[in-house]
Structure 1
Amino acid sequence: MAESPISGHGFTIEQLFSGQRFGLDYYQREYVWTRKHVGSLVEDLYQRFAASWHPEHSRSQTSEYAPYFLGPFVYFEEGETTYLVDGQQRITTLHLLLMHLRRLLVEQQIDADDDLSELDKLIRVSKHGRRTYTIAIDERSALLDSIYKGGPYTLPENSTPSVRNLYERARDLDETFPPELRGESLLPFLDWLRDRVCLVGIKADSREQGWEIFKTMNDRGVKLDPIELLKGFLLSHAHDRHQLDVEWRTMLARIIANEPYTPSDFITAMLTAKYADLSETGPGSDTDRIGTAAHEWVRENHGRLNLHGKDSYHRFVTKEICGLADRYVSLLRAAKEPYKDREPLFHNAVNGLDQQYTAILATVSPTDDLDEFWSKAVLVAGYLDLLYVRRFVNDKARQPDALDDDVAHLVPRLRDCRTSEDVRNLLSQEIAGLDDDFTGITATKFGLRHDNRKQVRYLLARVTAWVEKECGKPDPIASYLDRQRPYEIEHIWANKPERYQSEAPTLAKFNALRDRLGALLLLNKSENASYRDVPLSEKIAAYRQQNVLAASLHPEFHRARNPGFRKLRNNREYGLAKLFQSYKDDSEFTAKAIDERQKLYQRLCELVWAPENYGFKIPKQVTPERRAARRGRARYDVTVGELIQNGYLAAGQEIFGTRAGERYTATILGDGHVKVDSGEIFTAVSSAAMFVLNRQSANGWTFWHVKKAGGKATLKSVRDDALKAGLRDKATLLE
């Protein structure tokens, strides 16, 4: 067989980045991937890794894990540079991910010099005495330097779209990287990523040939191949195929006009909402099959979809798919900004709760009139907003995917709701049975942590905007949540530990108090930057000129004529009169004052997210429904709670760890949570370690120790003993 002038070759991530210097040719588009694209890539990688990983595995065992294929890319070589013709979006994002993993590795401060050295070879390349980043584009160098070194970076106003987008995606990785990969699974994940994640490179002989391949692969715009396969299957079994083809194309055009990359998202959401069996998760489940090969899933499950003849296929396309597509487009539009009476859809979109579309489509029908459709949609979206905030203030939902099981639990029941009143009753019962409420803000000492900045900013935006509205001012929430007009978290305590020695004698205590929710405000980025390390006495006057929540710190604001604020403060139903306190300087804004302010924020959250605001009617008595566990792959792990239940650890037992000569202690609670000395409570031992060490990454299983006869033992060794003794449980989460 004659050799092809165009060759293909498989590359692992290690092979792809080792010793390479990638460039972009003049016809290449900008780096355009969005937060959603980056989030989807990282989530896919995490889920594929998690399907194989187990804490007992050695790092070398990751070489036996299932590989993951990331698709093809096109390139040609010229001199010492490999020019990316097609695939720069994925490869650029992978480069960002490698730098992010390096920073987490540095944060763990473990004996990983060899790992860092090997990782550096993928991130940067040195040839002929010149060191550059693997993706060598001069305009990006300053930004990549700041990402690599973890230093500050100010985005120039004249930045190109690629640089601006790289800056945003790096921030997204900081905010949304799975917390489960920040602990003991970090190094195994890195090993798997380097050795088992693959791409196929298509090598062109020249720039001209590369351009031809690029045009061939991209001249159709958005790639809809999976959607076209589904269309082909459905239309081949229906009558009036020409008419259906026109309707199908029109439907896709409406979706693409609102979100260019979402046609497949719609099909996945619709099939999952209406027909999927959600009792199982993981590889081979309905959700997995629908997401990867919807046309095959429909073919295999045509009976479940009532597809038995040409009329039924015709109806399925015109009434169900195209009819629900119109509803889906309406939801996408409502999620772009806070339309009156539809705000929860926007709020969920800000938080990345895309599960709202699946949950809403489960209960709406193309035949619902508009009022009924929007009533159902807003009720479902409002429930998810309320649930998510309650969960994250109790350290139970650091990322949107934490609600996946809740949505899977709801969808089959939402399918049975014919009217908006049915939806209201169902979700009211769900709210009444929730374990989590806003008392977690004070009980767990909720505040800013390395893995929840986005959530804390969202919470501050909502309560700050609510106070403004209640005082008769215009609702500023669109500005507060607009990433192009950034509002940032302001610490009332300056980052000067020496000023607060009497309140916080240790650095750990200082960081804990300074980051408490009660010690935070939301301010415009420019205002925030101007205060820097100014003491409260010097910036309290400036706070008075900001939003009402910030201004309420100033004593004169309480005494001045502010009728809107007085009405809010004195509203007996709200119960805020004693919670709004003022402080003139740092001597008054003490640890006790932070606790007072924490209670204020708790009450504000209860008012903002009051179920009645969303139209729910909470029954006085309810018996929570017992949920059947979703069946997935066996995750033979052991949790802290199970170690307590089986006598390997004890409720109230002290755990301790040391770093750089400083000793940290915490207490294991009866439910398996960890309470650190400053009062914060965590659901995961690694999260507790990150908090006390003030790090973005830490392995809590090796950091924390317990006393044992004759010495001490890490929590990992305690868990290993339990595993060796046969104590195992399915479907527990990665730490």
Structure 2
Amino acid sequence: MPGKDIDFDKWGIGETIERNYLRVPVNQRSYAWHRENVDDLYADLRNAMNHGDPEYFLGTMVFIRCDDGTLEVADGQQRLATTIILYAALRDYLADDPSQRRLYESISQQFLSAYDMHSDSDRAKLKLNTSDDDYFYRRVILPPDHTDRMEKCESRKPSHLRIEEAAKFAARWVSQKITDETKPDRQIENIRSWITYLTKSAQVIVVIVPDAAKAFSIFETLNDRGLKLSQLDLLKNYLYATAAQKDRLDDIRSRWDEMVGTLEANGLEERSLDYVRQLWISFHGHVKADDIFSRIRNWAKTPGKVVEFGDMVSQNSAPYAAIINPSHPLWSKNQHTHATRDCIRILGESLRVDRIRPLLLSTLMTFDRKATEQTFRLCVAWTVRFLIVGGIGSGTIEQFYANAAQEIRSKKITTPKQLADQMKRHVPADREFEDQFARVTVSRNYTARYYLWALELATRGDKDPMLVNADDPDRFDLEHVMPQKPSGQWSISEEDHSQLVKRIGNLTILEKKINSDLKSDDFDVKQPAYAKSSIHLTRGLSDMTGWSKHEITARQTKLAALAPKIWTLNVRA
């Protein structure tokens, strides 16, 4: 291997496992692959074998050389663990066949665990992080007849569930794709072919470096030469490399892994980059996703700044999960009002917007209980107004929210009233909002249902219709008075139908038990059913003399007059 500090070689992935004892740093990310990732790896290998490809490239792996001869895995954990899971599944398939005992033992000793004379015990070829290692060893490495073998997933940690899922999938892959032959000798031949291909032909570029700083700095070089890493990968590697210069690697690792663990526990692991970007926006203003790495790198130039950034991502991760999930434990600790939680529910489930999250996060981390509720109410009102009026680019709206979020973090804005006054320059005013509400069509059913329930409560005189929580899709339908697929009884042109069918004036809420028989009937047939409804807006339709563009427009204009009062720009006392 050439080079004094950095060694390069090309090995089969099985050969990499066979030659070395490998360990994942104790604080590195846990096993993260889902079934589809495992399937992709195995399917790609199978296709390469079926096409007779002498080599299949699995990318680059980076290791740190340790004093005891072990290689620490800086990059490659998911591929290594998933390959070992497949080796284990091949071994387990042979467990009940005495004639294949030597092959069974060969797989175990070469790729799973080997005798270590220093400890006088078997030693796993791959040791995972603190959270996963014991589970991985018992579920995957140990032979199937061992008393400590875990055949069932007893732990509920997300990474353990993924290991269990991968192990079960690998077992099915072996039985259904590798040994799907009628003759036993052909089954064994296929197993041997897979072992040989994994060991020699499924190749990786192995990079071995002397320390963590070189391990993480090498990623940018690889990226510049064609190994395209995500913004999040680049950021993590930069932070680790910078921290390692002053022995702060463990500090940033623990904070980064705390962030990842919190996001994973809330089902948000796929949104990690979104989180980092929206968190950065809440502190430092707007940035595009493609620029987030360079912005943070230019700011966090020292190990101290890197650890400060680590504090940011770890401390804000749970609040970020809470502004996405109205069922998050944060809302049940009496630190915030039910109204605040209702705002989160509406923004996430009924309006489904994410560009406002930096503002929500800044508010939650800065304002007190009452001011947080007041601001979240304003956020719902602003969101509805932007959605109804339209014509404002989503990037522009995001800029408005980003500026406000940054000013809250920097204490330039300290009250909801100051925030409301600033946003009034950007948010559609009452007249514009009402005028557009009178003409708007709504294509998203979940949003239309929210608007209608809020309007329903407003017609009943409810004091807080904006935070309505009455929607129940199991009991109520979104009813199109003029049907989406009108029968021949409806005399209307195709052009007029397309313009009117999703107007708010043509929509209402109706009990499923009433709606089940209406289908696309004529308005005169529907009216008696509407009269039976418990919904005020729907019962009012029974008094109409007909249903055409005129009636739809008149009804929507009447409803529009309620909108500025429901989604008010005033700060609630």
TM-score relative to the length of structure 2: 0.51
Mapped contact 2:481–2:508 kept (Cα < 8 A): yes
What does 1:121-136 align with in structure 2 at a 5 Å threshold? none
Mapped contact 1:540–1:554 kept (Cα < 8 A): yes
Mapped contact 1:462–1:608 kept (Cα < 8 A): yes
Mapped contact 2:508–2:537 kept (Cα < 8 A): yes
Structure 2 distance, partners of 1:549, 1:208, is 70
Deviations 1:368-398 (A, max 9, x none): 47527xx34x55544443233223333436x
Gaps of 5+ in 2: 1-8, 14-32, 53-57, 59-190, 205-230, 332-336
Letter matched to residue 605 of structure 1? A
| Residue 572 of structure 2 is aligned to residue 615 of structure 1 | yes
Give SS of 2:277's match: helix
| Residue 425 of structure 2 is aligned to residue 428 of structure 1 | no
| Residue 280 of structure 2 is aligned to residue 271 of structure 1 | yes
CA positional deviation for 1:255: 2.4
Q: 2:462 aligned to 470, 479, 482, which one? A: 470
Higher helix share: 2
Structure 2 distance, partners of 1:452, 1:385, is 17
Q: 2:452 aligned to 457, 460, 471, which one? A: 460
Residues 371 and 454 of structure 1: CA distance in aligned 2, closer, same or farther (over 3 Å): closer
Corresponding residue for residue 412 of structure 1: 403
Corresponding residue for residue 21 of structure 1: none
CA positional deviation for 1:244: 4.7
Structure 1 distance, partners of 2:237, 2:513, is 50
Letter matched to residue 393 of structure 1? I
Residues 312 and 601 of structure 1: CA distance in aligned 2, closer, same or farther (over 3 Å): same
| Residue 344 of structure 2 is aligned to residue 345 of structure 1 | yes
Residues 4 and 330 of structure 1: CA distance in aligned 2, closer, same or farther (over 3 Å): closer
Letter matched to residue 405 of structure 1? T
Corresponding residue for residue 389 of structure 1: 384
Give SS of 2:35's match: coil
Root mean square deviation, CA, Å: 5.0
> Number of aligned pairs?
368
After TM superposition, the structure 1 stretch with the greater mean CA deviation from structure 2, 249-258 or 408-417, is 408-417
Structure 2 distance, partners of 1:423, 1:465, is 26
Mapped contact 1:518–1:597 kept (Cα < 8 A): yes
Mapped contact 2:506–2:552 kept (Cα < 8 A): yes
Mapped contact 1:363–1:414 kept (Cα < 8 A): yes
Mapped contact 2:388–2:433 kept (Cα < 8 A): yes
Mapped contact 1:464–1:548 kept (Cα < 8 A): yes
Deviations 1:218-276 (A, max 9, x none): xxxxx974564254145325665435533432333122211332333221211232225
CA positional deviation for 1:533: 1.8
Residues 491 and 311 of structure 1: CA distance in aligned 2, closer, same or farther (over 3 Å): closer
Give SS of 1:264's match: helix
| Residue 232 of structure 2 is aligned to residue 232 of structure 1 | no
Give SS of 1:342's match: helix
| Residue 281 of structure 2 is aligned to residue 323 of structure 1 | no
Corresponding residue for residue 250 of structure 1: 258
Letter matched to residue 517 of structure 2? S
CA positional deviation for 1:439: 5.2
Give SS of 2:546's match: coil
Corresponding residue for residue 163 of structure 2: none
Mapped contact 1:448–1:515 kept (Cα < 8 A): yes
Residues 416 and 514 of structure 1: CA distance in aligned 2, closer, same or farther (over 3 Å): closer
Corresponding residue for residue 103 of structure 1: none
Corresponding residue for residue 520 of structure 1: 507
Give SS of 2:520's match: coil
Deviations 1:43-74 (A, max 9, x none): xxxxxxxxxxxxxxxxxxxxxxxxxxxx9983
Deviations 1:509-550 (A, max 9, x none): 344344432121134667545320223343334334444234
Residues 314 and 3 of structure 1: CA distance in aligned 2, closer, same or farther (over 3 Å): closer
The higher radius of gyration belongs to: 2
CA positional deviation for 1:604: 3.0
Corresponding residue for residue 35 of structure 2: 29
Residues 270 and 31 of structure 1: CA distance in aligned 2, closer, same or farther (over 3 Å): same
Residues 421 and 369 of structure 1: CA distance in aligned 2, closer, same or farther (over 3 Å): closer
Deviations 1:162-210 (A, max 9, x none): xxxxxxxxxxxxxxxxxxxxxxxxxxxxxxxxxxxxxxxxxx9977789
Structure 2 distance, partners of 1:472, 1:424, is 19
Residues 479 and 80 of structure 1: CA distance in aligned 2, closer, same or farther (over 3 Å): farther
Corresponding residue for residue 80 of structure 2: none
Mapped contact 1:363–1:415 kept (Cα < 8 A): no
Corresponding residue for residue 74 of structure 1: 44
Residues 408 and 266 of structure 1: CA distance in aligned 2, closer, same or farther (over 3 Å): same
Give SS of 1:611's match: coil
| Aligned-residue identity in percent | 13
TM-score relative to the length of structure 1: 0.41
Letter matched to residue 369 of structure 2? D
Structure 2 distance, partners of 1:242, 1:492, is 62
Structure 1 distance, partners of 2:466, 2:253, is 47
